[in-house]
Amino acid sequence: KRTGVSEIIYGEGKNVEQIEHIIDDMFQHDQKEIFISRVSQEKANVLKNIFPKFTYNELSKTFYWKEDETLINSGKIVVVCAGTSDLPVAMEAVDIARFLGNDVDLISDVGVAGIHRLFSKLDQIRHANVLVVVAGMEGALASVIGGLVEAPIIAVPTSVGYGANFHGLSALLSMLNSCSNGVSVVNIDNGFGGGYMAHSINSLANKKSGIE
């Protein structure tokens, strides 16, 4: 896996030395794109000194570098998130989808409790090839958007909430039981998985439009 063009690492539970070692190793294999998720601020402070050409996103905790930033896929991936507390997860989706070569929009603070804010973004939402919908608490946003668009939706439940939220169970179950068609779900707080799946779908759309 660790040779080729783009390389993705799950940073959680790896210390600075291990991550440094992995990056060095990739450079030796002439890697041109490296993406590491879930790097804490403390680790990033050290790593940024060692690898100054990398970017660190403080919100999403991703640490990455890409020699050639040309888009690979055309068509928008739109990441929509309910509240500001869901932003770290949404941003992880944005980061990985962009890193993989997609054109990504982020729309935030459009939770269902103020549905007019969602409607004011409807054109942008309807324009998407694929949508990633990120929401915690009751996770209703995926169903509402699902009823408004034809595009495939990847729903990402977050652990934002407390009490009977049970660390994201509430949003997870909501999204799995969506009464809207064309909605599928990834793990709680798995912004990475949502962004990757959106990329996988968008790549198919691009490949097909090229070939057939």
Ligand X SMILES: Nc1ncnc2c1ncn2[C@@H]1O[C@H](COP(=O)(O)O)[C@@H](O)[C@H]1O
- Pick from 146, 157, 161, 193: which binds Mg ion (CB under 5 A)? 146
Could you tell me the smallest distance in angstroms from the CB atom of residue 166 to Mg ion? 24
C-beta closer to Mg ion: residue 146 or 191:
146
Q: Determine, following the binding rule CB under 6 A, whether residue 181 of this chain makes contact with ligand X.
A: yes
Helices (H), the chain: 16-28, 41-50, 87-99, 115-119, 122-126, 141-148, 169-176, 191-211
Indicate which of Mg ion, a copy of itself, ligand X, none lies near residue 44 (CB less than 5 to 8 Å, by partner kind).
none
Q: Answer yes or no whether residue 139 interacts with ligand X by CB under 6 A.
A: no
Tell me how far, at minimum, the Cβ of 96 lies from a copy of itself, in Å. 10
- Rounded CA separation 209/212 (Å): 6
Please report whether residue 193 would count as binding ligand X according to CB under 6 A: yes
Q: Provide the minimum distance between the beta carbon of 52 and a copy of itself in the complex, in angstroms, as a whole number.
A: 26
Dist CA 109 CA 118 (whole Å) = 8
Q: Which does 195 bind (CB under 5 to 8 A by kind): a copy of itself, Mg ion, ligand X, none?
A: none
Q: State how far the alpha carbon of 128 is from the alpha carbons of 65, 105, 125, 162, 201, in Å.
A: 26, 9, 6, 32, 12
CA distance 88 to 85: 7
- Of 202 and 208, nearer to ligand X (C-beta) is 202
Our CB check for ligand X shows the closer of 9 and 140 to be: 9
What is the rounded distance in angstroms from the CA atom of residue 62 to the CA atom of residue 55?
A: 8
- Choice between 52 and 210, CB closer to a copy of itself: 210
Q: Residue 164 has which token pair?
A: 């009977």
Helix and strand totals (H; E) in the chain: 8, 9
Cα–Cα dist 106/179, whole Å: 24
Nearer to a copy of itself, 31 or 159 (CB): 159
Q: Min. distance of Cβ 124 from a copy of itself in angstroms?
A: 17
Residues 178-207 that bind Mg ion (CB under 5 A): 182
| Token pair in block for residue 56 | 């660190």
Other CB atoms closer than 10 Å to residue 148's CB: what's the count? 15
Q: Which of a copy of itself, ligand X, Mg ion, none does residue 101 bind (CB under 5 to 8 Å by kind)?
A: none
Nearer to a copy of itself, 57 or 85 (CB): 85
Residues that bind ligand X (CB under 6 A): 8-10, 37-38, 83-84, 181, 190, 192-193
